[in-house]
Amino acid sequence: HLAEIRERLRAELTNELAVKDGETIRISVRFPSGAKFDKIFGVDDSLEKLFNSVLVHATCPDDFSLVSSYPRVHLQCAPDWYREFSSVEENFGDIKTFRQAGLENSLVVLVRDNDA
């Protein structure tokens, strides 16, 4: 089931246009495996876009949380459908934009494997 969702999101993200205008934020994502990627988002994009970008990565664990490296903050960015796969309640809540969450500068985000 999660594999199907990942495939659908991967296809959607592949067709998504890059951020064109406006303020942007560069996010560097680090996985427990050592894998990493950088992506640019608009500061008014939903944090769910970050969640989806992480979820479709090949090394992403099935049950994960996202934490900013500094200041260390748990990012509430998981959509409600992910509840059946997640063991961590802090993943859920009102999903804000990067700006609403106070994230307007470049940021390192750590992927935490909740099964580890």
pTM of the model: 0.87
| Rounded to 5°, angle at Cα 4 from 44 and 63 | 70
Q: Quick one: CATH architecture of 2-113?
A: Roll (3.10)
- Say what the pLDDT of residue 85 is: 87
Rounded Cα distance between 67 and 64, Å, is 10
- Say what the pLDDT of residue 62 is: 92
- Say what the pLDDT of residue 11 is: 83
CA-nearest of 54, 38, 43, 53 to 98 is 43
Query: Which residue is associated with the tokens 């992480």?
Result: 54
Cα–Cα distances in angstroms (integers) from residue 111 to residues 34, 79, 86, 89, in the given order: 10, 16, 13, 16
Write down the domain spans for the chain: 2-113
DSSP 8-state code for residue 81: G
- Say what the pLDDT of residue 80 is: 87
Q: Alpha helices, DSSP H only, in 1-116? A: 2-15, 47-55
Percent of the chain with pLDDT over 90: 49
- Name the band, by pLDDT with cuts 50, 70 and 90, for residue 92: confident
